[in-house]
């Protein structure tokens, strides 16, 4: 018989053998192989030890209000939350508006031209233009 551990193709056969679900003929053939193969012997012993440990393990008792809390959570998750439907878009818009306002407030203002840096000729022309506009608005 080919070594089941080295073949790794028939792991289910070894699992069934350890659990006692293998038919008697196949189990007898595997008994003979396990008796002479060290790898299979170690694998079968470790598998049987694990199965024995699982058989001894007992689940902790369920708390008294477990079912009630479970059904409350399931019911709460099945109902759509109002904030998921209405508040998320509003929060998104508020965030975009805050970002836009922040960008507008942090923008550097345009430089203001000061009179001492202006050319006197340009200043005189600007004053003449302003006087002309003032006269037009009177009429």
Residue range 68-79, pLDDT digits in tens: 999 988 887 776
What is the structure's pLDDT at 40?
A: 83
pLDDT tens per residue across span 81-109: 655 566 677 778 888 999 998 888 887 66
DSSP labels, 3-59: -HHHH-S-HHHHHHHHHT-S-HHHHHHHHHHHHH-HHHHHHHHHHHHHHHHHHH--P
pTM score > 0.85 for this model?
Answer: no
Give 115's DSSP letter: G
pLDDT in tens, 12-47: 787 888 888 888 888 888 888 888 888 888 888 888
Least confident of 33-42, 56-65, 115-124: 115-124
> Which has more confidence, 14 or 66?
66
Nearest residue to 43 via CA among 86, 82, 6: 6
The arithmetic mean of pLDDT across residues 116-135, rounded, is: 81
């Amino acid at each position: 018989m080919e070594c089941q551990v080295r073949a790794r193709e028939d792991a289910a056969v070894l699992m069934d053998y350890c659990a006692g679900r293998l038919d008697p003929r196949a189990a007898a053939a595997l008994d003979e192989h396990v008796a002479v193969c060290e790898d299979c012997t170690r694998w079968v012993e470790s598998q049987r030890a694990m199965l024995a440990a699982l058989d001894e393990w007992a689940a902790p008792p369920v708390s008294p209000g477990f079912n009630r809390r479970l059904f409350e959570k399931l019911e709460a998750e099945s109902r759509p939350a109002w904030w998921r439907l209405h508040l998320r878009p509003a929060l998104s818009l508020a965030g975009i508006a805050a970002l836009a306002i922040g960008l507008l407030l942090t923008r550097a203002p345009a430089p203001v031209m000061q009179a001492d840096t202006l050319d006197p000729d340009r200043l005189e022309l600007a004053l003449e233009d302003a006087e002309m506009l003032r006269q037009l608005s009177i009429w």
